[in-house]
Structure 1
């Protein structure tokens, strides 16, 4: 192994991704980003949605994966795109086209509007991506590694990828397939008290909050809260019930290093625990696109994080972006 460079949630920040790759010594050769020493990138998912250069980022990532210079696990946004675009036997989409879901995926659909066949090709490619990676020296998942679910999943699906039947079953709450996808791509969460909601920083009203999966003997909701949006002091003081405990997961400190994204961290990158690192530092919200340069160490080191700040020039004026896409489309035909 020449080393892995694990990269957090890109969310369409295509120019920032290229700047990060260049910072780590990668260069574009014959249309593919490569490292001179043979290092390999691992993307933790969520390349699509939100940002201004989703199509560019997807092409860069896919070209790397197909050339063997990168690996990628499926994020909840790639999974949601699949579910949004796939019909069940009754002819209904696996993920409803509600205003909320439409808002999340609309930027991706708009950017691919001139290239519908290309978007379908990317959806087919998403089906080839694993939900998680269990490599010799490290593990990678988008949101949460659940020791109760993953051994059986890998026994039945050794390459970690979904079949069409698995995808269909994953949309049915309560199935084993749903539980695996929910843990891997969405992580653990607890529901707020009856009737209470919270408006998060991204404008969505939620009735639940994201939780950590590495706290020893947590007592209250505040102990396991893991998201940028705080709860009220009264709610954070809520004791964890037996029912709450069953919803949570736990990653032991003696297990191999685990890398994940998903959680909209802020500030400077840091190691959560010697074997845990979150790589999502809110790039698409003008945060940081973060990578960890892994060289086989059993204990993770904060000095091995690298990142680039997302610049305002990542976001061109909408009219400029549309004109750029139209010009490229006309050139192709």
Structure 2
């Protein structure tokens, strides 16, 4: 690290908890000057999913965007930023499809709070969308790696060939809306991770109120044998499905990130409880802040073996009066 930089503070999925984000930055020693949070010796890396679900979405985006634009932070794109971009971009020449992301009841519900909170600020929303498109899908800097959901080395290399800085464009976004394309596989794996389909007729009633027909799988088991070896989500599998053997096809579809690889930071997976490391070189920082969990940061200072003592977090209590009070940073 150069220029007197001591390290990075990596922050998990904010999901519109803007006031909580301000509280976490305060706890980490960042102070607001000129409408921007700054630290004399450290920078932030946001892991994506700034938007949707939470009460202060505009505030969360404003804090992060200002920090990034002022050089006080980096960010990678989350699947919710991808969703917003596809939801807001018309499908070019696709009969029967008006938008890259269909305006279905399910998709409308996911982005509902974001659109409502930007309704009276249409220009600000257009600027936010333009900024989302400029966010890279992954970062490699100073000996660490960052991606929202899954580091898949072959797909990262494919992305690098056409987009060396990890930033996509509108053509890539349009191509990613078509299942089976390389753009779809890159965007899906890096921002949504791996999903293993459930057996026919089996569903999970997820904690976020959605019915799911697949489960989220992680990518750091060297030789996984069963579904239970790779499941990575708070929702349990029905019956004894955790004992079900992975088929050869399922096993070949999984990514793998070995212990010899650089430290990797991810979000996305709705962890619960006290933050812990799933592997010695991997930290997941999504601890369900918007569902009254924790908004979590990891203070990284160059170590190759991560340390759970470096987690810092702010709890989000259910009682409204105990939460960080709403406030606005100075927009002028």
Same fold (TM over 0.5): yes
Within 5 A, what are the aligned runs for 1:50-89?
50-89=53-92
Q: Is the counterpart of residue 26 in structure 1 residue 38 in structure 2?
A: no
Q: Is the counterpart of residue 202 in structure 1 residue 205 in structure 2?
A: no
Query: Residue 312 of structure 1: CA displacement?
Result: 4.4
Report what 2:11 is aligned to: 7
Q: Is the counterpart of residue 297 in structure 1 residue 303 in structure 2?
A: yes
Report what 1:93 is aligned to: 99
Answer whether contact 2:224 2:251 (CA < 8 A) is retained.
no
- Aligned-CA RMSD value: 2.1
Closer/same/farther in 2, CA of residues 102 and 4 from structure 1, 3 Å limit: same
CA distance in 2, matches of 1:219, 1:81: 36
- 1:273 alignment partner, one of 273, 276, 279: 279
Answer whether contact 1:65 1:71 (CA < 8 A) is retained.
yes
Superimposed CA distance per residue, residues 264-309 of structure 1 (whole angstroms, 9 cap, x where no aligned partner): 0001111111110000000001100000000110100111111011
- 2:236 alignment partner, one of 227, 230, 233: 230
SS at match of 2:22: helix
Report what 1:216 is aligned to: 222
- 1:157 alignment partner, one of 142, 163, 173: 163
In the alignment, structure 2 segments of 5+ residues that lack a partner are none
- 2:194 alignment partner, one of 182, 188, 192: 188
Query: Residue 136 of structure 1: CA displacement?
Result: 3.2
Report what 2:314 is aligned to: 308
- 1:263 alignment partner, one of 266, 269, 278: 269
CA distance in 2, matches of 1:55, 1:271: 31
In the alignment, structure 1 segments of 5+ residues that lack a partner are none
Answer whether contact 1:32 1:60 (CA < 8 A) is retained.
yes
SS at match of 1:148: helix
Superimposed CA distance per residue, residues 245-268 of structure 1 (whole angstroms, 9 cap, x where no aligned partner): 132111111010000000000011
SS at match of 2:295: strand
Answer whether contact 1:15 1:314 (CA < 8 A) is retained.
no
Closer/same/farther in 2, CA of residues 315 and 41 from structure 1, 3 Å limit: farther
Number of residue pairs aligned between Structure 1 and Structure 2: 323
TM-score, normalised via structure 1 length = 0.93
Query: Residue 70 of structure 1: CA displacement?
Result: 0.4
TM-score, normalised via structure 2 length = 0.93
CA distance in 1, matches of 2:100, 2:270: 26
- 2:177 alignment partner, one of 171, 174, 177: 171
Answer whether contact 2:204 2:238 (CA < 8 A) is retained.
no
Answer whether contact 2:11 2:285 (CA < 8 A) is retained.
yes
Within 5 A, what are the aligned runs for 1:39-58?
39-58=42-61
Answer whether contact 1:266 1:281 (CA < 8 A) is retained.
yes
CA distance in 1, matches of 2:54, 2:158: 36
